[in-house]
Structure 1
């Protein structure tokens, strides 16, 4: 990362955390260059970028100051409410001005294209840009293998309904798993098999047995920052899944929806270990930018392209949104915002883990070792009445999500847990929120 970008990100973080409050005078260019051990021109470039983003302003002969903000009002939520439920990005760090600039530039650049229906595979210039963007995470694919979708959900629904060249019918899903997809599979009566996934991982003997004997069309899995478990596969597990898929002619649908959050650069996606073109790689831009963008990417094997395109049929993603995303990635704004939000979420997870160390000494709650992403489960004692716990926490102004919805309704081996999300939980609230949850759980009056 360029030096001025790291300085910019550090100052933005200090502003968000309140270290640099509204009206605060930033260090002089000379002092900042000594503080960050860089040239004055580098500081001037960082300050100029912060001015352009309306985060700071300059006063001639005086210096640079933080713009007055209203960060104490959290977009419609009471400042007393601890939001451990929301999965959407933190609105307080949404890059409004950057993306508005990209939208305006997209209108100027693509003004004639906006009056056409476009290509159902996606805007060609965006797909060219995505070739190099995906390569940064070891997903190497030609432009023609990339299809832009209306969010990852659309790709998942198409894959569930379309026939596969292996001629098999069942979809294998983890339990627990992505709740919205599970509801879709149930509503559409699509044949489904299940396999348990816990903080300890998968039973790979069972996985192989299902691949071998159960007529599995594809295995749907989240390789990083699993929703709701927060855990990720290690390198050997990813290699094993790719090898079993090749051995038994089963496809893998790898939902890498949080590829950009706290990614270990030494751990590549399952797609990178696939030597036989049986992995469909899916990526969403919702967790980095905003859900309303409704843009996802599917990287498909050659033998699935035609069928997938037939089921997709028409252009259903905004050309303007695609054009704006193309510009947002090309000019480095996406990469910069990715670092900002990834660092922010890592710090919130760290605060959460410290709070658990402080208040959970009796071990009422069990959690996996999650250090990045936005989710972690609070596994509860069997005696806890989950519905009453959620109700009691709501009365204390703490929003949580019960784990029950992340299972198929027919699955009988459900574990009791709360899915905790830190994406909108403000840092100063997390400690008290964790303390309150543990207090409620430890009361033990559930009968």
Structure 2
């Protein structure tokens, strides 16, 4: 602790927050070589006591160091220095995410947060529009829970989750062909937290993780924050390229394979039943755990099969994630994991370290919502609403979309994936269409290393039927003009990926 005793903080400063001062002081220790690769930072409480600051100040400083890739965490062990920052080569290779006077995050679009103005046609968001939220029904179960449980509804639940809710979820997933014990179900605060808990509990710094190419940006961000090395696997119209998958498993010996087999985000594709079985077989062969993110299997309109990988898992190697955000109310932040027994302790410890437990009131309300059968009614309603949007979207794409733009129509879900002609950039298209009050998600957000500039994603989650009709027609007009322009963005051929 001696090197930390010399840290001087200006607690009277109006120009720099204390957590920024702590962050800079620790980074300076790395730059001078006093903190080297593999060194363990002090426990949060211990450093807070030494510097006479609160714990949150140290937590925030450690978080920034972690986001810069300077430290990594091991659940149950501590925070460690990632590299020898005093080596010039290492320092120059770091992303410059922190500036002099304060912590400024990357641009919103690079973090997959796209600014939406009022009256914009929002093809960017995969979150349902608020008119679909079952507010009255959920208000009723909330009031029933408060009348029934009173103050108990606001107490901490066990980290694994409210036991009656886990019983109800066991029955719920039985319809998906998933047969498990209540003890294997863990309640989480949304799918994003589920991915984070899995990463915290299972991954060590430098472990390899395989993902689809392209993939969900939130998952990539989590794995990167854990110091994992992410390897992408080619995605085809019926799922992962199996040869590429096996070759990379042999080469990198990954800890995890993260995939969305049904109505994948961002492409909307679904894996064939044959490929689902083959992926399970390959994972079993090489002892790789699969993280299955069941993004939207409930919204199956035309697919012959939307079986989950977990339903095919006979050797307990699939970690199943299910969130209610896309088919319920995203602000509730509720979901669950089905965790293989060998990983039970690691996941439970990571959950407790993250937020102790998910809201007890919301867990109790969701349990009652399931028991009353209101959930099943809501699913049918959502399916009918999204089916209408889905069918209109397909009709409009076929009618208006320029033939130069390539796509493969999904059979369910809310996402549609497009590829521009060679030499055109979806980021440039984005700048054009936003001026016409239309917004979408540029494809580079979903690729490692900012590749995929020719791709873009349209989602029907937050748009109604009239907005779809007008939006696709207007977007198609803009695309016609964009494609016909002579002044095109030149993109190196190495940045192109085969059409999915």
Q: Indicate the larger mover: 275-284 or 169-178.
A: 169-178
After TM superposition, the structure 1 = structure 2 runs for residues 326-405 of structure 1, keeping only pairs within 5 Å, are 326-360=367-401, 362-405=402-445
Verify: 1:258 aligned to 2:299, yes or no: no
CA RMSD of aligned residues (A): 2.2
* Structure 1 CA distance for aligned equivalents of residues 206 and 457 of structure 2: 33
CA distance, structure 2, for counterparts of residue 127 and residue 293 of structure 1: 17
Q: 1:276 to 1:101 in 2, by over 3 A?
A: same
2:159 aligned with 1:120: yes
TM-score by length of 1: 0.78
Q: Does the aligned pair in 1 maintain the 2:407–2:419 contact within 8 Å?
A: yes
How many Å separate the matches in 1 of 2:323 and 2:432? 34
After superposing the two structures, state which structure 1 stretch, 285-294 or 381-390, moved more.
Answer: 381-390
SS of aligned partner of 2:479 = helix
Q: 1:391 to 1:237 in 2, by over 3 A?
A: same
Q: Is the CA contact (8 Å cut-off) linking 2:262 and 2:306 kept in structure 1? A: no
Match of residue 195, structure 2, among 156, 168, 177: 156
Equivalent in the alignment of 2:321: 282
Q: Against the structure 1 CA distance between its residues 346 and 370, is the aligned structure 2 distance closer, same or farther, given a 3 Å change threshold?
A: same
Aligned partner of residue 448 in structure 2, secondary structure: coil
| Residue 116 of structure 1, CA deviation | 2.8
**Counterparts of residues 84-99 of structure 1 (less than 5 Å):** 84-99=123-138
Partners of 1:222 and 1:344 in 2: how far apart? 23
Equivalent residue for 1:245, pick from 274, 277, 283: 283
Instruction: Name whichever of 94-103 and 426-435 sits farther off.
Output: 426-435
| CA-CA distance at 1:184 after TM superposition | 2.7
Alpha-carbon displacement from aligned partner over 1:74-125 (angstroms, at most 9, x marks no partner)? xx9755x322112111211211100000111111222242253221100011
- Structure 1 residues 301 and 231: alpha-carbon distance in aligned structure 2, compared to 1, 3 A threshold: same
* Closer/same/farther in 2, CA of residues 114 and 105 from structure 1, 3 Å limit: same
Secondary structure in 1 matching 2:337:
strand
**Contact 1:374-1:422 at 8 Å conserved across structures:** yes
Q: Which whole-Å CA distance do the structure 2 matches of 1:115 and 1:182 have between them?
A: 34
Measured against aligned partners, the alpha-carbon deviations of 1:128-174 in whole angstroms (never above 9, x if no partner) come to 10010011111111110000011111121122232379x99311111
Shift of 1:238: 0.9
Equivalent-residue separation in structure 1 for 2:291 and 2:206 (angstroms): 15
Alignment correspondent of 2:169: 130
Q: Provide Cα deviations, 1:189-232, integer angstroms capped at 9, x if missing partner.
A: 32221112243532101111222331111100001111110111
Q: What CA distance in whole angstroms lies between the structure 1 residues aligned with 2:431 and 2:248?
A: 39
Q: Tell me, in whole angstroms, the C-alpha distance in 2 between the residues paired with 1:390 and 1:110.
A: 50
Does 1:300 pair with 2:339?
yes
**Distance of 1:376 and 1:154 partners within structure 2:** 25
**Is the Cα–Cα contact under 8 Å of residues 239 and 272 in structure 2 kept in the other structure?**
no
Which sections of structure 1, spanning at least 5 residues, go unmatched? 1-75
State the Cα deviation string for residues 334-363 of structure 1 (Å, max 9, x = none). Answer: 111111111211221211111122123x51
CA contact (8 A) 1:243 1:274 kept: no
Q: Classify the secondary structure of the residue corresponding to 1:308.
A: helix
Task: Give the alignment's TM-score, normalised by structure 2.
Answer: 0.70
Q: Which runs of 5+ in 2 are unaligned?
A: 1-115, 489-500
Shift of residue 391 of structure 1? 1.6
Cα distance in 1, alignment partners of residues 233 and 460 from structure 2: 27
- Mapped pair 1:430 → 2:457: no
Post-superposition, which runs of at least 4 consecutive aligned residues in structure 1 deviate over 6 A? none
Aligned to 2:349: 310
Q: Tell me which of 119, 139, 162 is aligned to 2:178.
A: 139
Residues 164 and 304, structure 1, Cα contact 8 Å, conserved in 2: no
Q: Distance in 2 between matches of 1:143 and 1:164?
A: 25
Aligned to 2:363: 322
Q: Deviations over 1:222-264 (max 9, x none)?
A: 0111111011112111111111111111110000021322275
Distance 2:480 2:253 in 1: 45
CA contact (8 A) 1:225 1:231 kept: yes
What residue in structure 1 maps to residue 233 of structure 2?
Answer: 195
The higher relative CO (CA closer than 8 Å, separation ≥ 6) is in 1
